Amino acid sequence: MRAIDATHDPALTSWVESANRHGSDFPIQNLPFAVFRRAGSGEPLRCGVAIGDEVLDLALLGAAQPLEGLAARALAACTEPALNRLMELGSEAWRALRQGLSEVLRSGSRHAARAAGALAPQAGVEFALPARIGDYTDFYTSIHHATAVGRLFRPDQPLLPNYKWVPIAYHGRASSIGVSGQEVRRPRGQLKPPGAEEPRLAPTGRLDYELEVGVFIGRGNPPGEPVPIGRAEEHVFGLCLLNDWSARDVQAWEYQPLGPFLAKNFATTISPWVVTLEALAPFRSPWSRPSADPQPLPYLDDPALRLLGAIDLELEVALETAAMRARGAPAQRLSRSNFRDCYWSIAQMVAHHSVNGCNLQPGDLLGSGTQSGPGAGEAGSLLELTDGGRKPVELASGETRTFLADGDRVILRGWCERQGLARIGFGEAAGIVLPVA
């Protein structure tokens, strides 16, 4: 688990004034990474770090040579249009770079004048995927979501017997992952409505979102060498927000016996900012399993996991319809949940993924699965919120939704907040639904 050090000091301030504003997602205690360029410029993409309302251009900063040693080598890895080179350097390099950037950006820094020239307003940039994503695996870590969805698809056996023993996952499609702002065309697929004798090819009528956390792998592992649970988080660079768009009617027809396929491979949207595990260290909390449930097999259990394996991360999904947008009305929050309620942890996902010798690589992305909590307002999908479409959600605009309509914009947000600590925000992962092509 990452250690708390001077970079987490809640009293620390920055010479970038917007970073000191109460409620900012990006104070100096955060320093998340992204890939960006000035909007509409056609410039080469490069790596950056969020500080308040600005993004610090790490390529420009590196030219000024403000850092030394391992921190300087890590900064030099940020000159490419992806974070993969930095990711593969490992946790010691990530920590050194974080400490160096904190010193550059804090109030009174002797590097302030040189670094100021490397700032660009976030409002004037465009983002790309933060890494070259070679592989994408989506897990199913929320028992509340698994039970609720299982009840809709398999009323006689909502939770399959393997769920409490093994972290369930499927391999997703890396090529259709997009960054916040992604336009999602309503997909077609095979549908078989209740009572129909044969399926038909048609646009989905039950388009849904899934509120998830994305986990970016940093340093990989060689083929045939599993990552032990006690060292699993050394292989995790950071987290983002993730929306695994889903066509529920396609899913209902195709998912047996091998699981999701066309229902989920058409689009996945992630937030541009990757928040490092170092930034989240003050918000770790104990991970536990109900005593009446099976306890994890030894390769999935560890004292450090029990002590601080969960993360107190608030998650929220909001909806902006076309009608709201036309009237200038704000998006409406649909649900709120917390990542600490997941049944399987980040370390367990990594350890299980590699236990058979699977070689994870820098930039690989793991999805947490839909993060739903135990309460009625904590459902991470419309499928759950509407009880399978039987109970429409009523919006303040006078509209209702059972599933997403064309023109709907879905916005995911996440943040860590606790008395006496700086708020650590994730920004947004937003995507808009376009009509079928």
- Enumerate the active-site residues: 145
Assign 3-class secondary structure to the chain.
CCCCCHHHCCCCCECCHHHHCCCCCCCCCCCCEEEEEECCCCCCCEEEEEECCEEEEHHHHHHCCCCCHHHHHHHHHHHCCCCHHHHHHCHHHHHHHHHHHHHHHECCCCCHHHHHCCEEEHHHEEEECCCCCCCEEEECCCHHHHHHHHHHHCCCCCCCCCCCCCCCEEECCHHHEEECCEEEECCEEEECCCCCCCCEEEECCCEECCEEEEEEECCCCCCCCCCCHHHHHHHEEEEEEEEECEEHHHHHHHCCCCCCCCCCCCCEEECCCEEECCCCHHHEECCCCCCCCCCCCHHHCCHHHHHHCEECCEEEEEEECHHHHHHCCCCEEEEEEEHHHCCCCHHHHHHHHHCCCCCCCCCCEEECCCCCCCCHHHCCCHHHHCCCCCCCEECCCCCEECCCCCCCEEEEEEEECCCCCCCEEEEEEEEEEECCC
- ∠ CA 119-103-24 to the nearest 5 degrees? 55
Angstrom distance (rounded) from CA 384 to CA 317: 13
Task: At 63, list the tokens.
Answer: 């030219």
**Are the beta carbons of 198 and 165 closer than 8 angstroms?**
no
Angstrom distance (rounded) from CA 45 to CA 35: 6
- Residues whose CB falls within 8 Å of the CB of residue 204, separated by 6 or more in sequence, listed in order: 186, 187, 188, 189, 191, 247, 248, 249, 250
